[in-house]
Amino acid sequence: MTDGLRFDLDPWSVGLHDVDLDHLGHVESVFALSNGNVGWRGNLDEGEPRGVPGSYLNGVFERHPMPYAEGGYGYPSSGQSAIDVPDGKILRLLVDDEPLDLRTGRLGSHERRLDFRSGTLRRELEWTSPAGRTVRVTSERLVSLTHRSVAALRYQVEPVDGPALVTLQSELIAGEQPPTDYPDPRVQEALSAPLRPVAQHAVDGRVTLLHRTRRSDIGVAVAMEHLITAPRTAVTESEASPDLGRTTIAVGLEPGERLLVVKIVAHEWSAELSPSALRDRAEAGLREGLRAGWEGLATLQRERLDDYWACAAVEIDGDPRLQQAVRFGLFHVFQSAARADLRPVPGKGLTGPGYDGHTFWDSEGFVLPVLTYTAPEVAANALRWRHATLGHARDRARQLHFDGAAFPWRTIDGQEASGYWPAGTIAFHINADIAAAVLRHVQATGDAEFEREVGVELVVETARLWMSIGRWDDSGRFHIDGVTGPDEYTAMVDDNVFTNLMAQQNLSAAADLIRRYPENALALKVDDAEVARWTGASAAMTVLYDERRGVHPQSAGFTDHERWDFDSTPPGRYPLQDHYPYFDLYRKQVVKQADLVLAMHFRHDAFTPEQKARNFAYYEALTVRDSSLSAASQAVIAAEVGHLELAADYLAEAALLDLDDIHRNTDDGLHIASLAGMWVALTAGFGGMRHGSDGLRFEPRLPPSLARIAFGLRIGSGTLRVEVRPDSSAYSLVGGTRCALRHFGEPVTLDPGESVTLPTPPLGDVGPAPEQPPGRSPREMLASRD
Amino acid sequence: MTDGLRFDLDPWSVGLHDVDLDHLGHVESVFALSNGNVGWRGNLDEGEPRGVPGSYLNGVFERHPMPYAEGGYGYPSSGQSAIDVPDGKILRLLVDDEPLDLRTGRLGSHERRLDFRSGTLRRELEWTSPAGRTVRVTSERLVSLTHRSVAALRYQVEPVDGPALVTLQSELIAGEQPPTDYPDPRVQEALSAPLRPVAQHAVDGRVTLLHRTRRSDIGVAVAMEHLITAPRTAVTESEASPDLGRTTIAVGLEPGERLLVVKIVAHEWSAELSPSALRDRAEAGLREGLRAGWEGLATLQRERLDDYWACAAVEIDGDPRLQQAVRFGLFHVFQSAARADLRPVPGKGLTGPGYDGHTFWDSEGFVLPVLTYTAPEVAANALRWRHATLGHARDRARQLHFDGAAFPWRTIDGQEASGYWPAGTIAFHINADIAAAVLRHVQATGDAEFEREVGVELVVETARLWMSIGRWDDSGRFHIDGVTGPDEYTAMVDDNVFTNLMAQQNLSAAADLIRRYPENALALKVDDAEVARWTGASAAMTVLYDERRGVHPQSAGFTDHERWDFDSTPPGRYPLQDHYPYFDLYRKQVVKQADLVLAMHFRHDAFTPEQKARNFAYYEALTVRDSSLSAASQAVIAAEVGHLELAADYLAEAALLDLDDIHRNTDDGLHIASLAGMWVALTAGFGGMRHGSDGLRFEPRLPPSLARIAFGLRIGSGTLRVEVRPDSSAYSLVGGTRCALRHFGEPVTLDPGESVTLPTPPLGDVGPAPEQPPGRSPREMLASRD
């Protein structure tokens, strides 16, 4: 069951007419705005009622003690949690001293709309105060994709049925209580008031608050100023106190007259800068925003998005809801990282407090594949952030007695913040996922400078990690023991096929890069013997296969284990981890999220078509999809092995995850990786796109429900557009240089400006679609949401 | 290195002449007195200086929250910690208003002695006060082995060189600050003042304090009264306040005159009784103690110990330190449980706060084997305690979705209190260890009533657990996946050989018991089909064998894993768990404590002599002995496979563990299981004793360092004495009924009163002794203690 909210259908926006006080948190996440640096949840202008307040700066977090019942060597002692920064989106309206509050008076109309092309959240409402005065309010806000630190609001109010004294309190509010109750009082203490006021200024209508986090010692400056248009001079007054900046604007209006206030807010943070330098930077950002004004910022916003959508806009004929959902997803994926210069992409973006604001392998595994092909400069920034955290990753490797770099399972600043190592630190595959993201990015962009400056070191240091984690057996095979793969219902296993295949690619790539960048070899102290060891280990990598069952075991012994007793598992016992102990999940055949199936996508070259079909069927019967990271991957392989309707069902599940709040936790923030997964399901699934060292290939096939899909890919300096219809696919290249690809194995070469349309070969008999565990088919998951 | 304390050598006592203020905690543990119900650490009479104060009641504990960085289903939310109860052992002496304090004045002589036959701790000292007055003090204390709740002190003081006013403050002190600093403030809060005063009484020289624990809601009553002998009437005064009961006794003495005070202290606790009922019980116990008086209590104490030693006294010719150590160990093992009626045997007994006062599989695996053969009524009580906690164990099994009973890895009250499941809850072997202790006990005692009332249900419910933990494979073999065996450097493994063999025995025994006790079958709802399933699983139990290497792998895949890099592990990195992450230990061949080697002892029938020799050599090279539970088990198998000097070295290590404080943590309490292990190493090691369903057998062989060992075993109602010399062994039966045994395979039958002496067959060539990892041989461990 979902909460029953119904967003309206539009290909370029998401709108909502209702006000449902019980599901404010869900709506706030859906309507969140961000540029990857600043994030504003979609709270109402007047701040309340609210689900979760939220104003975030990517990288601003507080440390807290990590509690353990029984500690152990290498356990992180310090946790990290993203915190609310002073909130500049609040604009409280009073009509003749009656505060606008949707819970009082009478609401004539109310509409909010997130527009994917303007990059704004608009609101229109008509409200009659308890005293009987009706006003019309229109507001629009944006978090600037061109001005890294700036967010802006345009707020207009007019009385409808008589004169009114209109007062606006425009605020910066610090220290709003976080919604979480932490069981550990130390964590509660650290996170309940993490910001210490440092200074506050109210000068000539410009209000600036300066704070510093108590433990992580990060300075935060938020500044605001207003542009006011009114039929007569409004009375304005600004004040600043440690946790509140306020500008009050009051004016009497006749019907037909309007007060228009543009609020510009600028945000800066730093762990190094002095308060005065921070203030200067924030106020400089503010000045830039003021100079552009609302129209300027809005125009730049639209231009930036036009540029993005020129490539990224996916077209889908046959399913309006999917059309809306995929653009919703692509909008948020872009927002989550667009200006995240040297910052991570958190699992929830900057849309909510979920996962403590941490970033995971989701970023390199699911989000960056989309950005690399639609906004490659943004993907590059995210990888440069990883590169900037190499020092922490090297330290962590040393602590664990390994060579190279061990990137954290979850983090904000690059240090490990996972408190449960069996599904944390030892999920070492994140290191190969990072290397794979580098390789993919270079393959798509051909960016040699990025490769040399960022890529080589990341790939080499992760390859070194694999050499020290892995081991040789007596017969000359290379093994990786005691790790956890993507599936978190299996942990601490030997030779996880996903991990081994990804490590194999990582090792080969390191050898290749060092051959191509000998000057980096010198700097990284790589010699020929080391390269030979990488090459040897890659060639000797163990890839397990269960001959008897004709499938790849997810890890050593997996297929010999007991199958989970799905028949005896009632629907109410999902997600399983909330109702069964880890050890019981770990020791049985039950899969939380695609693991071997994901390996068949990421290392498509390592499996035959027959193996893919058999493996997919085998793991479908075991996969319960208790993670939002799974459906898109299952869609990709379902499509590859010809089960197109099943793939469409998985895509639908991914598409509705946040819009319909299927997991009932969207109030904590959007599932950015799952939103990105929609694009992957479309391009790699129905587009059959694979892009590896064996080149770029497509095997496009549509499910019966779709008449056409089209998508663009940035390849080098050009854009390849792919248009898939039931019987044929068209490829056209705009700009760039000659592009080679394969269509169902047939080589195609496109010059800039050229197009080609090729027929879809008939799909052979693929047999019946595989079955999922009882109650866990995507259809049943979707059906159960109402 | 140890602390360099040197206890003197005596076969029946441990004495110490020095006062070493830096190692008070070690001495307090060595000199601790207990009866299994009440425990007093060997603090000085005057209370201070002290290492760790300590007055314990077995079962009195406080609950505290259990912190987790990331929680999970089935994690215990509440921890347990034994707490200090009001301390009745304090007697502070003032000489002319100068308090006796070893840190002031001048100490002429000081001697303390724990006497294994009198069951008392004696002290003699001569002290000159800073004012120059010299007194002679002799004190003696006991915790009564015959009066469950009673402890007593006899304190005598006389001035030596002139008249003195002698004042004794005899106290009950509650709320002494525990020495631990807990990182979690919730735990600190719960455990820093766990006792709430309920009432206090001082009536006619009888002082009683009543408290209640704040969270676990356990009532505690401690009462004291004094018997005073003085040359003239002493002035006495008694008072009681919430956390202090005090009786002050003052008298002027001339040289040659003495003040003699006998202090009787009685302790009661209950979670059910009202304060008045508790007070009544404590004061009834006090009256019994007063009636007996010091002489009566001391006489009964000696009689009880005479009875124990009649069977238990091990004699060793050739190594006086070992002779002392083994009796020291046997004394403490007996003390730890003697009157623990329906109470567990904690890992540290009642000698210190270590392990939070929890009981582990140590009890059934190491301690009860000694008690079953030397004090069977005591062993029976401990097993009755387990039986009494079946409700908790059944609840825990239900919580984990299993049948039967899942006993806790660590507990005080029978509920799981382990906060790290990979080396806690999933060490399910504890259930088979409990069943094995039951079987051993019945085998030794022939106690059919115990078997029917306690044994059947314990064995059946644990068998049921195995059936639901285990699984059948396609080829009809039974497996137990995803558990942890005794070795805590390997976790979450399949088919741990120790676990599987112990479960196999558990299942067979359940089937056998149900056949013999059909009325229990009805009560336990066991039908023929269930018995058939047990028999079938037992017969089909997987016992892995590595044909290529000719050894049993400790668990599936173990011998294929990478060997720990011992050569690159510096001595300072032991214990390994403090310097390496768990996952790295888990995935490599390195053994913390005997696991497969222990299996070869407990299930000696499941291995051929050749397998034992090869397995022992293989695992010796991997075993680092970071646990005190290991040395004795290694001694047993070293002796069996003919490496008698190595066995002697292991025995020496176990023998000196606490006396020499080899692990530097004896101040937290004695390692009761390791102390018990000495007896096991002697009887099962050099005596070659095995007692299984195949009967009682001995294959005695002495190491060159020993000229003779002798030990007694309660078998049924008689005592079998075994005397081992280099060339022969003598068996004699005292009391009881005819006893059958085998001496090196040769059947021997003894009637009561009969003796037989049989030659030791020559030991064939056993080759060189196996090697241990560098720096981890018992010789090196012993050498490093200075």
Same domain (yes/no): B337, B283:
no
CB A34 within 8 A of CB A349: yes
Looking at residue B1, what is its pLDDT?
Answer: 39
Neighbouring-strand partners of residue A747: A742
Q: How far apart are CA A494 and CA B559, in angstroms?
A: 13
Looking at residue A601, what is its pLDDT?
Answer: 98
A1 pLDDT band, cuts 50/70/90, is: very low
Chain B positions touching A419 (Cβ under 8 A) are 68-70
Looking at residue A779, what is its pLDDT?
Answer: 85
Same domain (yes/no): B325, B273:
no
B3 pLDDT band, cuts 50/70/90, is: low
A184 pLDDT band, cuts 50/70/90, is: confident
Chain A positions touching B428 (Cβ under 8 A) are none
CB B407 within 8 A of CB B427: no
Residue count of chain A? 786
Share of chain A above pLDDT 70, in %: 99
Q: How far apart are CA B523 and CA B753, in angstroms?
A: 42
Beta-carbon contacts of A121 under 8 Å, excluding residues fewer than 6 positions away, are A31, A33, A42, A112, A113, A114, A115, A140, A141, A142
Q: How far is B564 from chain A (nearest CA, A)?
A: 11
- The verdict on ipTM greater than 0.85 is yes
Single out the residue in B280, B303, B326 at which a domain terminates.
B303
Residue of B70, B78, B356, B495 to mutate, testing the A interface (most A Cβ within 10 Å of its Cβ): B70
Three-state DSSP class for B761?
coil
What tens digit of pLDDT does each residue of A304-316 get?
999 999 999 999 9
A786 pLDDT band, cuts 50/70/90, is: very low
Contact between chains at A68 and B68 (C-beta distance less than 8 A): yes
Contact between chains at B584 and A418 (C-beta distance less than 8 A): no
- Quick check: B786 pLDDT over 50? no
- Give the other-Cβ count within 10 Å of A547's Cβ: 6
Q: Print burial letters for B703-737: b (CB count within 10 Å at least 16), e (below 16).
A: beebeebbbbbbbbebbbbbbbbeeebebbbbebe
CB B320 within 8 A of CB B655: no
β-pairing, B206-213 vs B219-229, is antiparallel
Strand ranges (E), A204-258:
206-213, 219-229, 235-241, 244-253
Share of chain A above pLDDT 90, in %: 94
The residues of B that are catalytic are 488
For residue A189, the chain B residue with the least C-alpha distance is B185
Q: Name the phi and psi angles at A734, rounded to 5.
A: -115, 115
Q: How far apart are CA A358 and CA A708, in angstroms?
A: 37
CB A353 within 8 A of CB A669: yes
Same domain (yes/no): B271, B322:
no
Answer yes or no: is A431 within a domain. Answer: no
* Residue B3: HSE in the Cβ half-sphere, 13 Å Cα cutoff: 22
**Tokens representing A234?**
């409004």
Contact between chains at A419 and B70 (C-beta distance less than 8 A): yes
Write down the number of H helices and E strands in chain A. 21, 32
Same domain (yes/no): B320, B270:
no
Answer yes or no: is A238 within a domain. Answer: yes
Same domain (yes/no): B516, B486:
yes
Looking at residue B4, what is its pLDDT?
Answer: 67
> Among A177, A164, A28, which Cα is nearest to A97's?
A164
Same domain (yes/no): B603, B631:
yes
SS3 string, A35-62, reads CCCEEECCCCCCCCCCCCCCEEECCCEE
Answer yes or no: is A122 within a domain. Answer: yes
Q: How far apart are CA B109 and CA B116, in angstroms?
A: 23
Residue with the bigger pLDDT between A175 and B668: it is: B668
Q: How far is A492 from chain B (nearest CA, A)?
A: 8
B522, with CB counted inside 10 A (0-12, 13-18, 19+), is exposed
For residue B71, the chain A residue with the least C-alpha distance is A420
CB A319 within 8 A of CB A686: no
Looking at residue B27, what is its pLDDT?
Answer: 97
A234 pLDDT band, cuts 50/70/90, is: very high
Same domain (yes/no): B274, B336:
no
Q: How far apart are CA A592 and CA A486, in angstroms?
A: 9
Q: How far apart are CA A563 and CA A559, in angstroms?
A: 8
Answer yes or no: is B12 within a domain. Answer: no
Q: Which of A28, A364, A416, A488 is catalytic?
A: A488
Q: Is B614 left (phi over 0), alpha (psi -120 to 50) or beta?
A: alpha
B650, with CB counted inside 10 A (0-12, 13-18, 19+), is buried
A449-463, B187-201, B378-392: the lowest-pLDDT one: B187-201
Chain B positions touching A418 (Cβ under 8 A) are 70
- Quick check: B151 pLDDT over 50? yes
Contact between chains at B73 and A580 (C-beta distance less than 8 A): yes
Q: How far apart are CA A549 and CA A547, in angstroms?
A: 6
- Quick check: B785 pLDDT over 70? no
Of A561, A586, A588, the CB nearest to B492: A586
- Quick check: A256 pLDDT over 50? yes
Q: How far is B573 from chain A (nearest CA, A)?
A: 12
Looking at residue A54, what is its pLDDT?
Answer: 93
Residue at token pair 């000359």? A476
> Among A28, A40, A25, A132, which Cα is nearest to A86's?
A40
What tens digit of pLDDT does each residue of A507-540 get?
999 999 999 999 999 999 999 999 999 999 999 9
Contact between chains at B66 and A69 (C-beta distance less than 8 A): yes
Chain B positions touching A481 (Cβ under 8 A) are 561-562, 587-588
Looking at residue B179, what is its pLDDT?
Answer: 60
Question: Residue B582 is which amino acid?
Answer: Y
Q: How far apart are CA A101 and CA A172, in angstroms?
A: 19
Q: How far is A355 from chain B (nearest CA, A)?
A: 12
Q: How far is B217 from chain A (nearest CA, A)?
A: 23
B2-11, B232-241, B441-450: the lowest-pLDDT one: B2-11
Q: How far apart are CA A330 and CA A315, in angstroms?
A: 12
- Quick check: A93 pLDDT over 70? yes
Same domain (yes/no): B373, B318:
yes
Contact between chains at A581 and B66 (C-beta distance less than 8 A): no
Strand ranges (E), A160-311:
164-173, 195-203, 206-213, 219-229, 235-241, 244-253, 259-270
Average pLDDT in the B260-269 region?
A: 98
What tens digit of pLDDT does each residue of B64-78 get?
999 899 999 999 999
**Mean pLDDT of chain B, nearest integer:** 96
What tens digit of pLDDT does each residue of A211-222 get?
999 999 999 999
Contact between chains at B73 and A492 (C-beta distance less than 8 A): no
Residue of B428, B492, B566, B588 to mutate, testing the A interface (most A Cβ within 10 Å of its Cβ): B492
β-pairing, A98-99 vs A87-95, is antiparallel
> Among A361, A303, A344, which Cα is nearest to A82's?
A344
- In this structure, what CATH number is given to the domain that contains residue B699? 1.50.10.10
Which pTM does this prediction carry? 0.95
Chain A positions touching B568 (Cβ under 8 A) are none
Q: Name the phi and psi angles at B12, rounded to 5.
A: -125, 15
Number of inter-chain CB pairs under 8 A, A vs B? 130
Contact between chains at B473 and A560 (C-beta distance less than 8 A): yes
Contact between chains at A580 and B401 (C-beta distance less than 8 A): yes
Of B65, B418, B581, the CB nearest to A400: B581
Average pLDDT in the B232-242 region?
A: 96
Q: How far is B667 from chain A (nearest CA, A)?
A: 21
Chain A positions touching B418 (Cβ under 8 A) are 70
Q: How far apart are CA A419 and CA A707, in angstroms?
A: 47
Chain B positions touching A559 (Cβ under 8 A) are none
Of B67, B418, B580, the CB nearest to A73: B580
B17-26, B83-92, B213-222: the lowest-pLDDT one: B17-26
Q: How far apart are CA A124 and CA A140, in angstroms?
A: 9
Number of domains within chain A: 1
Contact between chains at A185 and B185 (C-beta distance less than 8 A): yes
Q: How far is A659 from chain B (nearest CA, A)?
A: 28
CB B427 within 8 A of CB B361: yes
Question: Residue B778 is which amino acid?
Answer: P
Single out the residue in B274, B303, B332 at which a domain terminates.
B303
Same domain (yes/no): B362, B474:
yes
CB B47 within 8 A of CB B318: no
CB A783 within 8 A of CB A775: no
Answer yes or no: is A268 within a domain. Answer: yes
A176-180, A277-281, B128-132, B242-246: the lowest-pLDDT one: A176-180
B784 pLDDT band, cuts 50/70/90, is: low
Three-state DSSP class for B33?
strand
Same domain (yes/no): B321, B294:
no
Contact between chains at A73 and B582 (C-beta distance less than 8 A): yes
What tens digit of pLDDT does each residue of B176-197 get?
866 667 878 888 888 888 999 9
Residue of B563, B582, B586, B589 to mutate, testing the A interface (most A Cβ within 10 Å of its Cβ): B582
A182 pLDDT band, cuts 50/70/90, is: confident
Same domain (yes/no): B366, B472:
yes
Q: How far apart are CA A133 and CA A158, in angstroms?
A: 11
Domain range for B286 is 31-303
Contact between chains at A426 and B79 (C-beta distance less than 8 A): no
For A694-761, where are the alpha helices, taking DSSP H only? none
Share of chain B above pLDDT 90, in %: 94
What tens digit of pLDDT does each residue of A739-784 get?
999 999 999 999 999 999 999 999 999 999 999 999 999 988 777 6
Looking at residue B178, what is its pLDDT?
Answer: 61
Answer yes or no: is A381 within a domain. Answer: no
**Tokens representing B283?**
């004061």
Q: How far apart are CA B382 and CA B663, in angstroms?
A: 27
- In this structure, what CATH number is given to the domain that contains residue A152? 2.70.98.40
Single out the residue in B303, B332, B364 at which a domain terminates.
B303
Contact between chains at B184 and A67 (C-beta distance less than 8 A): yes
Chain B positions touching A75 (Cβ under 8 A) are 69
Answer yes or no: is B105 within a domain. Answer: yes
Same domain (yes/no): B692, B553:
yes
Three-state DSSP class for B30?
helix
B764, with CB counted inside 10 A (0-12, 13-18, 19+), is exposed
Chain A positions touching B79 (Cβ under 8 A) are 69
Answer yes or no: is A704 within a domain. Answer: no
β-pairing, A33-34 vs A38-40, is antiparallel
CB B699 within 8 A of CB B761: no
A131, with CB counted inside 10 A (0-12, 13-18, 19+), is exposed
